[in-house]
């Protein structure tokens, strides 16, 4: 999907493809799962209204601000392999600035690969 700006507000969000736009805003009352690519040249906002988790097993990128609002953000991959001991789908987050609104106290708690010029962490309950 490609557009100038994308804004959506609905239930469970699951992306396995490519979403590109100048600005992207996705809001839900549940989980957001990305196994594809969500990329904006401007701002990227993913918001679960602190009712769900953001799972990134691939790529989230923003040329401007990336704002993630969730109970938890998982960017460190998931168990896979015969015994579930391997890690698959380790995510990559890239933005000029990350704004994290979550129960997590540190950006490093998200895991995975992270590339930001600056970060702002707002711990919420």
Residue 3's pLDDT band, with cuts at 50, 70 and 90, is low
pLDDT, tens digit (0-9, with 9 covering 90-100), for 12-27? 899 999 999 999 999 9
Longest dimension (CA), the chain: 44
Q: Which two tokens stand for residue 66?
A: 């990336």
Which of 73, 71, 65 is CA-nearest to residue 103? 71
Domain boundaries, the chain: 2-123
Would the pTM count as exceeding 0.85? yes
Residues constituting the chain: 125
Q: What is the arithmetic mean of pLDDT over 93-117?
A: 95
- Determine phi and psi for 117, rounding to 5 degrees: -80, -35
pLDDT, residue 62, reads 99
More confident residue, 97 or 104: 97
Taking the C-alpha atoms of residue 21 and residue 89, their distance in angstroms, rounded to an integer, is 23
pLDDT of residue 122 exceeding 70: yes
Among 3-7, 59-63, 83-87, 99-103, where is mean pLDDT lowest? 3-7
Which of 124, 125, 74 is CA-nearest to residue 101? 124
pLDDT, residue 1, reads 58
Taking the C-alpha atoms of residue 70 and residue 45, their distance in angstroms, rounded to an integer, is 11
pLDDT, tens digit (0-9, with 9 covering 90-100), for 25-81? 999 999 999 999 999 999 999 999 989 999 999 999 999 999 999 999 999 877 777
CA-to-CA separations, 37 to 100, 120, 121, in angstroms, rounded? 19, 23, 24
């Amino acid at each position: 999907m490609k557009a100038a700006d994308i804004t959506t507000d609905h239930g469970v969000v699951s992306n396995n493809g490519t979403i590109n736009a100048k600005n992207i805003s996705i809001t839900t009352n549940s989980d957001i799962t990305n196994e594809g690519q969500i990329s904006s040249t401007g701002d990227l906002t993913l918001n679960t209204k602190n009712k769900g988790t953001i799972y990134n097993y691939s790529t989230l990128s923003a040329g401007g601000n990336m704002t993630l609002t969730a109970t938890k953000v998982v960017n460190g991959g998931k168990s896979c392999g015969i015994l579930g001991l391997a890690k698959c789908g380790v995510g990559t987050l890239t933005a000029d600035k990350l704004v994290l609104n979550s129960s997590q106290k540190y950006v490093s708690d998200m895991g995975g690969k992270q590339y930001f010029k600056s970060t702002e962490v707002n711990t919420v309950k």
